[in-house]
Amino acid sequence: MAEQQDQKGCATREMVDEVLAAYPDKAQKMRAKHITVKEEGCASCSIRSNSKTVPGLMTARGCAYAGAKGVVFGPVKDMVHISHGPVGCGYYSWGNRRNLAEGTLGVDNFVPFQFTSDFSEGDIVYGGDKKLEQLCREVKELFPTVKGISVMSECPVGLIGDDIESVSKRMSKELGIPIVPVRCEGFRGISQSLGHHIANDAVRDHLLAKKERPDPGPYDVSLIGDYNIGGDAWASIKILEEMGLKVRNTWTGDSTIEMLQTAHQVKLNLIHCYRSMNYICKHMEEEYGI
């Protein structure tokens, strides 16, 4: 029996060695910490997990850009969200979170679409401001019913110092719609959390309280930090409204730019995901008494 276990253990270790052999030396050294052979009585056989993502590596985990684009802004359905930088970061731009939204695609729902400025080497050398201006014009020309645009900056944009703020301000005036610059370069944070904060700050500075709803009521509430993954926000809204509350805003599942602009008028914020939305809720409590 012991001999069979030894043979099985040797075969497993050989399989692990074969898997690791496919990696370059540096990556192999890092990857080896995540694969191990479980042996009876081995106290040091645990694998290394729950470690922070290294900025620049393609991973299913997130960065600041992923938190801003993939979580907070992505589900706002009547805005076009531009991934400003190389196309590779489109991984977090194209429907991978199952954010459901009602509406007509290309008219008042752009959630499943990907928009990118597709940076090349020339843009890194000479800057991408002109390309961003052109892209904003193309968005408005192709989708005249779009209510706003967000510019989500990727790592190279921050490294070369592109001024997305001035471009956004200039194009907002030209096109007549809000254009929100979001400084969410991935290297700013090695988890999504900082991206949530950056995105909320952008909403606060450029959208919140920019409009007034004509019919505020005493039972108006916002559902904050629900991204309608698989339609969960719709179920929550149904329950809350059967209780007699009126859900005016969802942040940001199946959301609209007008919801973000008028959210300062509600009486109560109901926070679903505290980690991603505590910043904006704290601001609204201090500024508007919500």
Domain of 227? 220-288
Name residue 181's beta-bridge partners.
151
**202 an active-site residue?**
no
Q: Is position 24 within any domain?
A: no
Instruction: Looking at the structure, tell me whether residues 249 and 185 fall in a common domain.
Output: no
Q: Is position 20 within any domain?
A: no
Residue 8 clears pLDDT 70, i.e. is over it: no
| Separation CA 254–CA 195 (nearest Å) | 20
**Residue among 81, 84, 188, 196 flagged as catalytic:** 196
Q: What are the pLDDT digits (tens) for 240-249?
A: 999 999 999 9
Q: How confident is the model at residue 61, as a pLDDT?
A: 64
Instruction: Looking at the structure, tell me whether residues 96 and 227 fall in a common domain.
Output: no
**63 an active-site residue?**
yes
- The domain boundary residue, chosen from 173, 207, 241: 207
**10 an active-site residue?**
no
Count of domains forming the chain: 2
- The domain boundary residue, chosen from 207, 239, 261: 207
Q: What are the pLDDT digits (tens) for 17-60?
A: 999 999 899 888 888 888 877 777 666 667 776 666 665 555 56
Q: Is position 47 within any domain?
A: no
**CATH assignment at residue 252:** 3.40.50.1980
Instruction: Looking at the structure, tell me whether residues 170 and 282 fall in a common domain.
Output: no
Instruction: Looking at the structure, tell me whether residues 277 and 249 fall in a common domain.
Output: yes
Q: What are the pLDDT digits (tens) for 246-286?
A: 999 999 999 999 999 999 999 999 999 998 999 999 999 99
**Residue among 81, 84, 97, 188 flagged as catalytic:** 97
Q: What are the pLDDT digits (tens) for 151-170?
A: 999 999 999 999 999 999 99
Q: How confident is the model at residue 210, as a pLDDT?
A: 97
| Separation CA 167–CA 157 (nearest Å) | 13
Instruction: Looking at the structure, tell me whether residues 168 and 278 fall in a common domain.
Output: no
